[in-house]
């Protein structure tokens, strides 16, 4: 019974059982590869998350540089006031 259904499938598809199994196994391997590409540790999603984190860190660096600049200005103004008081 199984042999007959396999022969009918081979006839309909036009390929042998070995070819069908080879194509099926290649599709499984390709599917696992694509799944790994999208959902694994080194995936596209991880790349996008790291890119977003990089942008947020760069904006935080710029914000901190501006804040530091304001504090340095205040520090040097206070330093000049101290120097004038000592003279």
Is residue 86 over pLDDT 80?
no
**Which pTM does this prediction carry?**
0.54
In 3D space, the residue among 24, 1, 17 whose CA is nearest the CA of residue 9 turns out to be 17
Residues 45, 50, 51, 54: what is their CA dihedral angle, to the nearest 10 degrees? 160
pLDDT in tens, 48-77: 999 999 999 999 999 999 999 999 999 998
Percent of the chain with pLDDT over 70: 95
Q: Note whether 24 and 31 are within 8 A (CB).
A: no
DSSP 3-state assignment of 40? coil
């Amino acid at each position: 019974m199984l042999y007959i259904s396999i022969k009918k499938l081979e006839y309909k598809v036009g390929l042998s059982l070995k070819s069908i199994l080879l194509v099926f196994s290649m599709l499984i391997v390709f599917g696992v590869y694509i799944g790994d590409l999208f959902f694994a540790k080194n995936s596209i999603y991880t790349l996008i998350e790291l890119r977003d984190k990089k942008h947020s860190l760069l904006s935080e660096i710029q914000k901190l540089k501006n804040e530091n600049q304001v504090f340095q200005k205040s520090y040097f103004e206070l330093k000049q006031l101290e120097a004038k008081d000592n003279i």
